[in-house]
Amino acid sequence: MLREMNIELSFDKEQAMIIKSAREFCGKKSPIASVREMVETDDGFETDSWDEMADLGWMGAAIPEEFGGFELGMGSVVPIAESMGRFMLSTPFFSTTLAGQAILRAGTLDQKKTWLPKIADGTIGTLALLDNADWGSDAIGCTATEKGGKLILNGVKWYVADAGVSEFFILSVNYKSAPALVIVNRGQLSGDAFKRHILIDETKRAFKMDFSGVAVEKSELLDPEASPAALRDLKLIGALLTAAEATGSAAAALDIIIDYLKNRMQFGKLIGSYQGLKHPTVEVLNQMEAARSHIYHAATIVGDQPLDVDMEIACRMAKAQATEALLFAGDRAVQFHGGMGFTYECDAQLYIRRAQWAQQQFGDAYHHRKRLAPLLLD
Amino acid sequence: MKDDNKKMEAFREEVFAWMKENKPSDPGFLLPQTFMEVGTEEQLDFLRKWQRKVYDAGYLGLAWPKEFGGHGLSPIYQQIADQEMALHRVPILFNVIGLGWAGPLILKNGTEDEKKKYLKGILNGDDIWCQGFSEPDHGSDLGNAQTTAVRDGDTYVINGTKIWTTFGNYSRYMILLARTNPEAKRKYDGLSFFLAPMDVPGVTANPIQKITGEYGFTETFFDNARIPTSCLMGEEGQGWTIAMQTLMFERSAEGGQASSYFMERVTMDDLIKSARTMTRDGRPLLEDPIVRDNLVQFLIEEKALALGVGRADIPALCSDYPLSLPLSGKLRATEFFRRMRQYAICLQGAKGGLYVGDDDAIEGGFWQRAYFNSFSATIGGGTSQIQANIIGEHVLGLPKG
C-alpha cells in the first residue's frame, strides 16, 4: 500500500503579516540597481539592512521564545526566504538561520543559552557541511581527534556560506567514527583558513575553508545523541530554504519576462502576442506556482522536532520542484530577451546564474527524487 | 462550530456506510470513468438508476434549495458526499451538464419558473441535459458560433450544426448558444442563450465514433427546429455573457454544482499498483532507476495539483497572480492526466500494444482507453492551447495575438 498523500496547508494572520512586511522590506532594500551594487562588494550585503532585519525579528523567527526568539518556525522563515529570492536580496540570513537550527536541534542546553539569543540579535553564524563536490555522500572527510583534552580538527569544507562575516561555524566532523557537529569560533581561525569561491551566482558569498590544525574545547561538541538526526534534518531544511528562495527568484524572472513581452515590438507586434513566447511563459508561471504550493506545504508541517517521513518528502519535493522551476524560468528569461538577453547588462543573467547555484545547493532535483523514490514507491 | 463539526462527521460516517453498503457490483461491462465516455444504452440505464439511487438516499444536490429538490445545506455537505463517493469509487454521477453547469446557471440567473421546471429533473436524472456550444468549424472559437435562431411569432427557428454534444442522443434539454443577430457590430453581441428542448421536429443527433472506437458524442443538426420563445434565457444578445458564466462552472472556477463527482479519479496510486505487476529486463519494473525517477516526477506534479486546490483558498499565498490557480486548473490537471496515462502504456512493455477486448490486455485495456479518452479533456471546454492563451492574457496580462 502506498503512503497517503499529506496535503496539509495552513497559513495564519501572523504569517500573512510577515509575508507582507518581508515583501515590503526586501522590495525597498533591494531594487535591482542595489543588487548589482552589492555584487561588487566584499561581503555582498549592507550591515544596516542586516541590523534592520534583526530588529524585525527575522533571525529569531525560528528560535523558541525561551531563547530570545519569536518561535514562529519554518512557517515564517519560508515566506521571508521567498521574499529575499523575489528581490535577489542576499544576506547571511540563510547561513545564520541554519546555524541556529543546528544548535536548536542538537545543541546542549548551555550552547542553546549561549548562542540562540545572540543569533536572534543578529550575530552571524554558518554551517560547514560539505566535504567535496558530492551532496549525496554521507561520508564526512573532516575529522576531530582528541589530543591533550582538546579536539584537533583536520580537513577542508566547501561552500561555507558567508564565512567572511561569520562569528562562528558549525562543522560536521567524523569523531570516534560517528558523525558529529562542533562549534568553531572565528577567533580560532587564521586568515589562511579562508579562500573565497568564485561563484556562478555573484550575489552569493561562500568560502572553501581549511580547518586543519584548529584545536577546540570538547565542550564545543553538540550533543552526540542528537547530532546524526540533526545533520540529516539540516540538509533537508537547507534544501527547503533554498527552494523557497528559488521560488521567489523564479517569480522575479517571470516578472522581467512579462515586462519584456509586453513592451518589445518585433515585426510590428508586441512579442508577447506570439504564442511561441506566450505559452512557455505560462509554463514558467505554472512551474513557479507548483513550487509555491510545495514550499508552503513543507512550511506548514516542518516543526522543531526531528523530521518525520512526511516532512522529509515535503522538503525534498519542494527542492526538486523549485529548482527545476527556476532553471526553466532563468533559461527562458535569457532566451526571450533575444540579443539583449545574452548581455551581462540584462538582468536575466542574475536569474540564470541564481538558478545554477540553487540547483546544486543541498542537492539537485535528481538527488532528491532519487531519495524520494524509496519513500514513495517501495 | 463544534456542533457543526460533529454534524459533519456524523454525516460523513453515514455516507461512508451507505456507499459501502450500496456500491453496485460489477455490471459485467466496462463502466465509463468519465461522463464523456457514456457510449451505450446499457451504460446509460445503469448510471441513470445509480444517480436516482444516490439522489433518493439524499446525497445529491445537498446545497441546492429545498423547494427545487435540494436539501438547503452548506456546500461542505456535498463536498463530504463527493469525497466519500470518490473514496469508494462508486459509479460516477452522469448528468453532468445539468448537475454541474446548467443547474447552477439556472439557480444563479434563472426565473422562478425556470427553476421550478428544470432543477428537480436534473437531480433525479429524469431529464438529461446536453450542451450546444461547439460547432464543426468553430471548436474553440465560441464567439464565432454560426447556428442561427430567428424569431417567428412565439417561436425561435433554429438552424445549424453543433458538435461534440455529450448525451446529444439521450438528452431532453440542451443549453444552446445561437446567433439571433447576425448584423451585430461585435460578433459576441449577436449571440443568445437558450434552454432548448431536444424533442422537437428538426433536431437530429448522430453519434460520433471516437478514437477509442466507442460512441460518446453526437453531431447535432438543427433543421428549422422550432422552440418556444420562453426558452430564451435572459435577453437576446446576452448569450456570450451567459456562456462565459457556464464555462466558469465548467472550469470549476465557481461553486454551485449539485455535485462534483463526475469522473472516477485515476491517480498515481493506480498507476503504481499496476506497475508493481510488471517486469523489465527480467527484473521487477519498479527497480528500474529511470522508471523510478519518472514516477517520482509524476508524484511531485500530482501533489502540487492537490496542494494548489488548498492554496487557492488562502489569499495571502496567491497574492502575485490571484487568478492563476483557478484559471490554470483545467490546463494543468488535464495535461497531467494525459501524460500520465500515456506513461502507463509505456510501462507495459509488449502488452502496451494490446487493446480493449484482448484477454491479455492489462486491466482490460483500461490505460489504453483512458489515454485516448483523456484528449476529450485537453480538447473539450477550450483546448489546452486556448487555455494557455487565456492564462497568458488574463493572468499575466500579455497582449492578445
- Residue-wise pLDDT tens digits, B240-275: 999 999 988 876 656 788 888 888 888 999 999 999
Q: Is the pLDDT of residue B138 over 80?
A: no
Q: Suggest the residue from B303, B328, B385 to mutate for an interface test with chain A (most A CBs closer than 10 A).
A: B303
Domain with CATH 1.20.140.10 in chain A: 227-376
Min CA distance, A87 vs chain B (Å)? 14
Contacts of B85 (CB under 8 A, 6+ apart): B19, B54, B59, B93, B259, B261
Which residues does chain A have within 8 Å of residue B296's beta carbon, measured at their own beta carbons?
A: 320, 369, 372-373, 376-377
Q: Note the pLDDT of residue A1.
A: 47
Selecting from B292, B310, B320 the residue whose C-beta is nearest the C-beta of A373 gives B292
Q: Which amino acid appears at position B205 of this protein?
A: A
> C-alpha grid cell for residue A322?
523549485
A161, A205 Cβ separation under 8 angstroms: yes
User: In sequence order, which residues have a C-beta less than 8 Å from that of residue A31 and are 6 or more positions away?
Assistant: A87
Q: Was domain B2-93+120-126 assigned CATH 1.10.540?
A: yes
Question: Which chain B residue's Cα is nearest to A283?
Answer: B388
Residues carrying CATH 2.40.110.10, chain A: 127-220
Q: Which of B286, B393, B397 sits opposite A377 (nearest CB)?
A: B286
Of B289, B310, B398, the CB nearest to A272: B398
How far apart, in Å, are the Cα atoms of A105 and each of A72, A163, A165, B6, B349? 15, 22, 23, 38, 48
Calculate the CA dihedral of residues B300, B301, B302, B307 and round it to 10 degrees.
Answer: 90
Name every chain B residue with its beta carbon within 8 A of the beta carbon of A328: none
Q: Which of B135, B214, B250, B302 is catalytic?
A: B250
Closest alpha carbon to A28 in A63, A12, A11, A52: A52
Strands A194-196 and A206-210: antiparallel
Cell numbers found for residue B143:
464567439
Nearest to A375 by CA among A304, A320, A317: A317
pLDDT digits (tens, 9 = 90+) for A69-126: 999 999 999 999 999 999 999 999 999 999 999 999 999 999 999 999 999 999 999 9
**Complex ipTM > 0.85:** yes
Is pLDDT above 80 for B1?
no
CA distances from A339 to A42, A345, A346, A356 (A): 31, 11, 10, 21
Q: Could you give the CA distance from residue A357 to residue A361 in angstroms, rounded to a whole number? A: 6
Work out the average pLDDT over B350-367. 93
Contact A306, A105 (CB under 8 A): yes
- Top residue of B265, B314, B317, B339 to mutate, by most chain A CBs within 10 Å, is B317
CA distances from A77 to A63, A94, A316, B129, B303 (A): 10, 9, 17, 51, 22
Res B35 pLDDT > 90: no
Cβ separation B295–A317 shorter than 8 A: no
| Listed residue (B87, B63, B89, B67) closest to B76, CA to CA | B63
**Residue of B265, B267, B307 for testing the chain A interface, max A β-carbons within 10 Å:** B307
Q: Which residue of A has its CA nearest to B386?
A: A279
Kindly give the parts of chain A with pLDDT less than 50: 1
Closest residue in B to A17 (Cα–Cα):
B316
Nearest to A166 by CA among A130, A126, A197: A126
Q: Domain A227-376 maps to which CATH number in 3.30.930.10, 3.40.50.11540, 1.20.140.10, 3.40.50.720?
A: 1.20.140.10
Q: How far is B337 from chain A (nearest CA, A)?
A: 16
A346 in contact with B at a CB cutoff of 8 Å?
A: no
Instruction: Please give the grid coordinates belonging to residue B158.
Output: 433554429
Question: pLDDT higher for B320 or A328?
Answer: A328
Residue B139: its pLDDT value, please?
64
d(CA A230, CA A237): 10
For an interface test with A, the pick among B277, B314, B334, B398 (most A C-beta atoms closer than 10 Å) comes out as B398
Contact A322, A243 (CB under 8 A): yes
What is the spatial distance between Cα A300 and Cα A69, in angstroms, rounded to a whole number?
A: 19
* Contact residues, A window 91-130, toward B, CB-based 8 Å cutoff: none
Measure in Å the smallest separation between the Cα of A331 and chain B Cα atoms. 19
CATH 1.10.540 range(s) for chain B read 2-93+120-126
Q: What pLDDT does residue B31 have?
A: 83
Question: Cα(A129)–Cα(A140) distance, rounded to whole angstroms?
Answer: 8
What is the Cα–Cα distance from A93 to A81, expressed in whole angstroms? 8
- Fold held by B268-395: Butyryl-CoA Dehydrogenase, subunit A; domain 3 (1.20.140)
**Which residues in chain A have their CB less than 8 angstroms from residue B398's CB?**
258, 261-262, 272-273, 278, 281
Whole-number pLDDT of residue B124 = 95
A9 touching chain B per CB within 8 A: yes
d(CA A365, CA A372): 10
Interchain CB distance below 8 Å, A373 and B295? yes
Asked if B347 contacts B275 with a C-beta cutoff of 8 angstroms, the reply is yes
- Min CA distance, B260 vs chain A (Å)? 20
CB contact under 8 A, B296 and A372: yes
Task: Work out the angle between the directed axes of helices B324-347 and B289-311 (0-180°, nearest 10).
Answer: 160
- The residue-averaged pLDDT of B44-61 equals 96
Interchain CB distance below 8 Å, A285 and B396: yes
Confidence of residue B167 (pLDDT cuts 50, 70, 90): very high
Range ranked top by mean pLDDT from A5-9, A15-19, B222-226, B356-360: B222-226
Smallest CA-to-CA distance from B29 within B46, B48, B53, B54 is with B46
d(CA A336, CA A270): 12
Q: What is the mean pLDDT of residues B36-43?
A: 85
* Cβ-Cβ contacts under 8 Å, B400 against chain A: 273
The end-to-end CA distance of chain B, in Å, is 50
Q: Does A21 touch chain B (CB under 8 A)?
A: no
CATH number of B130-250: 2.40.110.10
Does A9 contact B293 at a Cβ distance shorter than 8 Å? no
CATH superfamily to which A127-220 belongs: Butyryl-CoA Dehydrogenase, subunit A, domain 2 (2.40.110.10)
Cell readout for B179 is 446567433
CB-CB: which of A11, A291, A370 is closest to B314?
A: A11
Nearest to B125 by CA among B176, B174, B64, B171: B171
Distance of CA A85 to the CA centre of its chain: 10
CA distance A347 to chain B (A): 20
Residue A319 sits at the chain B interface (C-beta within 8 Å): no
The residues, any chain, with a CB within 8 Å of residue B333's CB and separated by 6 or more, are B305
Residues 143-182 of A with CB under 8 A from B: none
In total, the C-beta contacts within 8 angstroms joining chain A to chain B are: 138
Identify all chain B residues contacting A9, using CB atoms and an 8 Å cutoff: 307, 310-311, 314
A294 has a chain B CB within 8 A of its CB:
yes
Residues in chain B with CB shorter than 8 Å from the CB of A320 are 296, 300
Residue B365 has, within 13 A of its CA and on its CB side, a CA count of: 17
Instruction: Give the model's pLDDT for residue A216.
Output: 97
Contact A320 B398 (CB under 8 A): no
The pTM assigned to this predicted structure is 0.89
B250 a catalytic residue: yes
CB < 8 Å to A378, chain B = 286
Name the segment(s) of chain B with CATH classification 2.40.110.10: 130-250
C-alpha distance from A22 to closest chain B C-alpha (Å): 13
Interface mutation vs chain A, best among B300, B313, B321, most A CBs within 10 Å: B300
Query: What's the rounded mean pLDDT across residues B336-352?
Result: 97
- Contact list in B for residue A377 (CB cut-off 8 A) is 272, 286, 292, 295-296
Could you tell me which of B177, B182, B98 has the C-alpha nearest to residue B138? B177
Residues of B within 8 A of A317 (CB-CB) are 299-300, 303
DSSP B92: P
Taking CA atoms, A117 is separated from A69, A110, A165, A223, A233, in Å, by: 7, 12, 18, 19, 22
| Interchain proximity A251–B320, CB inside 8 Å | yes
Q: Tell which residue, B378, B45, B10, B369, has the closest CA to residue B210.
A: B369
Reduced to 3 states (helix: H, G, I; strand: E, B; else coil), residue A344 is coil
Which among B302, B320, B400 is the nearest to A273, CB-wise? Answer: B400
List phi, psi (to 5°) of B111.
-80, 165
Q: How confident is the model at residue B382 (pLDDT cuts 50, 70, 90)?
A: confident
Angle at B39 between CA B33 and CA B40, to 5 degrees: 115
Kindly tell me if the per-residue pLDDT of B287 is higher than 60: yes
Across the interface, whether the CB atoms of B398 and A281 are under 8 A apart is answered: yes
Q: Chain centroid to CA B282: how far?
A: 41
Mean local confidence (pLDDT), B389-401: 96
Residue holding cell 512493455?
B349
Q: By the 8 A CB rule, do A36 and A90 touch?
A: no
Lookup: cell for A53: 532585519
Q: Which of residues 211-270 of A touch B (CB under 8 A)?
A: 251, 254, 258, 261-262, 269-270
